[in-house]
Structure 1
Amino acid sequence: MLQWVRSLIYIVQVYLVMGILGIVFAPWAILSPKGARAACKTFCHWAFWTARWMIGLRGEVRGPIPQDEVLIAAKHQSFFDILLLFEALPTAKFIMKRELLWTPVIGVYAKRLGCVPVDRGKRGMAIDKMVRDVEAGRAEPGQLVIYPQGTRVAPGDKKPYKIGTAILYEQLGQRCVPTATNVGLFWPRKGILRKPGLAVVEFLPAIEPGMERGAFMATLEREIESSTDALMQEAGFNAQD
């Protein structure tokens, strides 16, 4: 019960600070994407610092952090893995669901950062538009983050990997960096409770350009899922339990 109360206080204050920072940084963010990025980096630092002493949750990034233009294909379990990725990467841009554009603060800043909204309900049309929007935004370099399963996936759940990642991999001709996480063990998709522990995001060895589509998808899923399972087992989770 005490941890639930601490979690509630943490959630309230972290979203309150998000709104305050959004207002304070707004003039700079309007003038330059650098202002929007500075605001989001500041928010990440605050979220991590308060998580450590308020709910006992620490974050860790493992593996070589990509610095150049690459495609990041990441396991997505909760909001906390977004924060870890954004804080670690120099210039992250996310493929995101279109509905988030209408979220206060998040939507405005996502536009300034060059994030690419996708209408998940229109499949083929959505993929075509995603590719066009990504190409249009390449003038501003950065690490493009996509969630291959298209949504948050709770620990132990299985959801298919979608073809959009392979299409971007082919179109962009860039290396793809698979990324694993165990964040969902501590910060779940739903509910208030946040658990103490070590939440990890791990950058895995890059997949070089030029791989055939089917082989790429099989390799991507194998690397992400096996490494995610290993991180969760390290934290004491066993999907068979």
Structure 2
Amino acid sequence: MELKGNQVLLQSEELDRYILETSIYPREPKILKELRDATASHPLAFFGTLPSTGQFLTMLLNLIKAKKTIEVGVFTGYSLLLTALTIPEDGKVIAVDKNRASFEIGLPIIQKSGVGHKIDFVESEALPLLDQLLEKEENEGSFDFAFVDADKGNYWNYHERLMKLVKVGGVIVYDNTLWGGTVAMPENLVLEQKRKVRLETIEFNKKMAADTRVELCHAPIGDGITICRRLC
């Protein structure tokens, strides 16, 4: 623990644990905890949306009164379920992921939740699905919100398409844009297996920072999220 004047700086693990135990876990819906627990034994469980990110997404969805949303990258469905729980009864979320096997882990819990009718899951690569949506003129500018947690090398490609699908004033959120903090580390200190995505993430962050079409906020929530509101 380091002291700076009257400020106490805690180690990040201590601070994360405090936030989780104080204001996140006590408010996490039981059905979301059940899905999170069902995912815990998966070898890629770290792919799942963190509860801290989920809590922020829930508040954001409520603040913008989102009704029609799209999710790129589903995994077992934590963020998908929280979106379906949050949007109105007649709301809809289109979710795309190429791996249905992971989605099947969370599907029984999603079905039990009573909000499965709001979800349209598509097993597909994301880019073809987004292009297919754009082929229909009525889809342009029709989405209130989008959440992206998929292959980082395609984030900018997703962004260009979502900027047409999400309405002016709508919000797009990108997950993992700090990539475990490696974006701020010298490359020689980064594990070899993380370097490729680190570089992809740094490039995406630079492009987003220069994108005048959006209002931007890069927040150190979870593994880092980038929130952008479409301006034009």
Q: What TM-score range do you get, normalising by the shorter chain?
A: 0.3 to 0.5
Give TM-score, length-normalised by structure 2. Answer: 0.38
Give TM-score, length-normalised by structure 1. Answer: 0.37
Higher relative contact order (CA 8 A, sep 6+): 1
